[in-house]
Amino acid sequence: MMTAPLKATGPTVVEVALGDRAYDIVIGRDLIGSLGARVAALRPGARTAIVTDRTVAAHWLAPVEAALAQADIPSTRIVVDEGEGSKSYAGFQRVCEELIAAKIERNDLVIALGGGVVGDLAGFAAAAVRRGVDFVQVPTSLLAQVDSSVGGKTGINSPQGKNLIGAFHQPVLVVADTAVLDTLSPRQFRAGYAEVAKYGVLGDAAFFTWLEANHAEVFAGGAAREHAIATSCRAKAAIVARDERETGDRALLNLGHTFGHALEAATGFSDRLFHGEGVAVGMVLAAELSARLGMIAAADAARVARHLAAVGLPTRMRDIAGFAQEGLADADALMALMAQDKKVTRGRLTFILLQAIGQAVVCRDVPPATVRDFLARKLATR
């Protein structure tokens, strides 16, 4: 049962239960100052390398370095360009070479200070350098705090698709300082909120109802925001503990992503469509496809779209800047991009669809012709 958030008296700790590789997600305000003490307790004597991007570095690199220095932990900085462009072969090579140059060894730590791009890139480099160095996630976006920093998926993009090169490499600690979210642009925060709403839509109807009533307070900050982040992290932690390598239940976390990743690829992984915005459009498409297949009522699909639109997220393909003008509004082109999705099995697309709000299911038997016809109809709608 969903309860109203209480005023937090200290950080919330969510455990990701993976046996001897279990780790904590620590959630709360002004936690960066404690990072040095947490790292020292976790890995006494370790050296660190901080991977971050230029935008995050301007706000948070100095406080992180100061926290580490206060605990007598040596650190090296590796600063990359912001955006999906850094999640490339060239970006991966650069980070690996700089980690090696910094003499980061197997008993040292990589610290990923940034959003999803930095976490994916730094985590993959940590997985590869010296065949595996431990890393700590310090997520600085809402999307990273509730989704990409948790669960050990790391990787880079191929020109042929999103996140097609990577590894499962769990962090040893996640420190989600909610104060850093105050520096996000409204658009970045909204994009992250799509992943928060996703947890309600896929597995917690009461949480989705709570978000419908309390989303303004989540955006405003304070206890409601921390409650939403902690609820999202608990949901993801539970799924990851059951299915670390996505052989079953974990696929449910991809609600909206099969469509969303294709839309991101169609727009060149550019700032025209943030990942969370693609997921928002993808979730609405998944809900509407579920209704088209008779799995849920059209009113339920409309409810998902209405909530995402209420917070200012795109909910239709034509909401994407320049989408139609560039000739990308093509059902066959989108189907070709979806065919490269990681969830394709022996050429068959996998969709996460809804039996109800709060009850997502994995569907491996949706005929491609049905999906193509559905997309064509959506693209034709004005």
Per the annotation, the verdict on 153 as an active-site residue is yes
Per the annotation, the verdict on 107 as an active-site residue is no
- What is the rounded (10 degree) CA torsion for 34, 35, 38, 40? -120
Closest CA to 51 of 120, 154, 131: 120
DSSP SS3 for 103: coil
DSSP string, 312-337: T---SGGGSTTTTTTT---HHHHHHH
Catalytic position from the list 43, 77, 87, 153: 153
Per the annotation, the verdict on 94 as an active-site residue is no
Q: Evaluate the CA torsion angle 209, 184, 220, 8 in order and state its sign.
A: positive
Per the annotation, the verdict on 246 as an active-site residue is yes
- What is the rounded (10 degree) CA torsion for 189, 190, 194, 197? 90
Q: Evaluate the CA torsion angle 338, 265, 137, 167 in order and state its sign.
A: positive
Rounded to 5°, angle at Cα 164 from 163 and 170? 60
Per the annotation, the verdict on 254 as an active-site residue is yes
Catalytic position from the list 43, 77, 215, 261: 261
Catalytic position from the list 246, 264, 277, 288: 246
Per the annotation, the verdict on 261 as an active-site residue is yes
Judged on CB neighbours under 10 Å (0-12, 13-18, 19+), 289 is buried
DSSP SS3 for 225: helix
C-alpha 54 chain-centroid distance? 20
Catalytic position from the list 65, 98, 195, 244: 195
Catalytic position from the list 250, 303, 342, 343: 250
Per the annotation, the verdict on 378 as an active-site residue is no
Per the annotation, the verdict on 169 as an active-site residue is no
Catalytic position from the list 169, 225, 275, 343: 275
Per the annotation, the verdict on 225 as an active-site residue is no
Per the annotation, the verdict on 97 as an active-site residue is no
Contacts of residue 270, defined as CB under 8 A and 6 or more positions apart, other chains included, come to: 84
Q: Please answer whether residues 109 and 135 qualify as being in contact, where contact means their C-beta atoms are separated by less than 8 angstroms.
A: yes
Catalytic position from the list 190, 215, 254, 277: 254
List residues with catalytic annotation: 131, 153, 195, 236, 246, 250, 254, 257, 261, 275
